[in-house]
Amino acid sequence: MRAWAWAGQYLITMVLALLLAFILGSLSLFREASISTTGLTAAHIIQFLGYAGALVLLWLLGHAARTRIPEERKDLWFTRQLAEPLATLIVIIIGHQVLLLLLAPFLGGTGRSVYNWLFVLGSVGAALWLVQAASSAWATSTGERPLLRRPRPIPASEAPPACPQCGAPVRTNMKFCSQCGQSLAPARCRQCGQALAPEERFCTECGQSAE
């Protein structure tokens, strides 16, 4: 339970912000205190602050889920991947109405249309992000990540033999390369005749220099 204490703190703070905004916004004192030239009241302002604060906490909760849930928790992989884009989508959709608490008196017909389109585009972008995150989470949970998986390097023991001169593939029983004529016989020590690997500078048998 302690591992999820951070989530409980976000949720409790969100509930308190919503309750305070609702209770204070319902009081006649806040409804009657208005700015006559705009039609805004103290109730509108306190509701905006409370609801907007709750939305910010919701997004922070989604972001914290992505950063705090360890990648090793495969049972919570979907939660880790979807929490932030889902919270973003919810914040944009609800934020459209919350922001109108302050901006409605100042938006004309054209301004309201531009305002709506901004939130439409934001909602579509967040929805696409959510779909992409869901697809990535599903591919990861099933072990299929062809677009993200790096090709496995071929160990030297599994790599096909190649000519040291031109790199053409050679067979194990070939003595000379069929492309450049390079001798494929291993180099030998001039002192004792011991076979030398290409990277060896000294004979491992007698210590003679291979150069």
- Reported as a single tens digit per residue, the pLDDT across 16-73 is 999 999 999 999 999 889 887 778 889 999 999 999 999 999 999 999 988 888 777 7
The per-residue pLDDT for range 130-182, each reduced to its tens digit, is: 999 888 878 776 665 444 445 556 555 555 677 777 877 877 777 777 778 77
Q: Assess if residue 157 is contained within a domain.
A: no
Residues 6+ apart with CB under 8 A from 9: none
The answer on 64 and 111 residing in a single domain is: yes
Q: 135 or 200: which carries more pLDDT confidence?
A: 135
Residue that the structure tokens 């160990």 belong to: 155
Q: Does the pLDDT value for residue 201 go beyond 80?
A: no
Residues 9, 68: one domain?
Answer: yes
Let me know if residue 45 belongs to a domain.
yes
Residues 191 and 129 in one domain: no
DSSP per-residue string spanning 146-170: TTTPPPPPPPTTTSPPB-TTT--B-
pLDDT attached to residue 145: 47
Q: Provide the domain count of the chain.
A: 2
Average predicted confidence (pLDDT) for the chain = 82
Predicted pLDDT at 94? 95
pLDDT top residue among 15 and 162: 15
Give the domain extent around 92: 2-141
Record the pTM: 0.61
136 with 182, same domain: the answer is no
Give the integer Cα–Cα distance in Å for 189 and 210: 6
Do 17 and 96 belong to one domain?
yes
Q: What are 99-128's pLDDT values in tens digits?
A: 998 888 888 889 899 999 999 999 999 999
Q: What is the pLDDT of residue 181?
A: 78
